[in-house]
Amino acid sequence: MRVILLQDVPKVGRKYDTKDVPDGYGTNFLIARKLAVIASPAKVAEIEKLKRELGAKREAGEAELMAGMQKINGVELVIKGKASDKGHLFSAVHKKDIKEKLATDFGILLNEDNLNIKDGLKEVGQYDIEVKVGDKKAKFKLLIEAIK
């Protein structure tokens, strides 16, 4: 039986792949759980069109990320937070916070996955943050300041 996968299925394939599977597995597991549909010629054409559209969107998104990478070199981002007298933040600064601050202050749109930092920054100070998109890298300075 030939099916088109609607989701990633471990040990079978990735979303929108066309696969040959045993009839019982396809009917009783994949189709019953809405993980796949039968690969009719109309469905195959529809999926191919969808793949092309997704590819175009992905390329546009990558172009936007590359534009952000060019802007980010040399940027100094300041994030303020409540901290103890010793400089320990009460609430850590996470990738999400950095991403949002870059977008609001500089108009730079990045994914959290592209920021190369450990889980959460919990100390006041200066950090060099590396951003990696594909094989391109950029760096910016992050200053975490205490609110008095």
- Return mean pLDDT, the chain: 88
pLDDT for the residue 32? 95
Average pLDDT over residues 104-127: 85
Among 127, 121, 124, smallest CA distance to 83 is for: 124
- Residue 33 pLDDT greater than 80, yes or no: yes
Q: Is the same domain home to 138 and 113? A: yes
pLDDT for the residue 9? 92
- Can you give the pTM of this predicted structure? 0.59
Average pLDDT over residues 34-38: 94
Q: Supply the CATH number for residue 82's domain.
A: 3.10.430.100
Q: Is the same domain home to 141 and 115? A: yes
Domain endpoint, select from 24, 41, 65: 65
Q: Is the same domain home to 31 and 75? A: no
Range of the domain at 6: 2-65
- Residue 102 pLDDT greater than 80, yes or no: yes
> Crossing angle for the helix pair 95-106 and 41-72, nearest 10 degrees?
70
Q: Is the same domain home to 95 and 141? A: yes
In the chain, the number of structural domains is 2
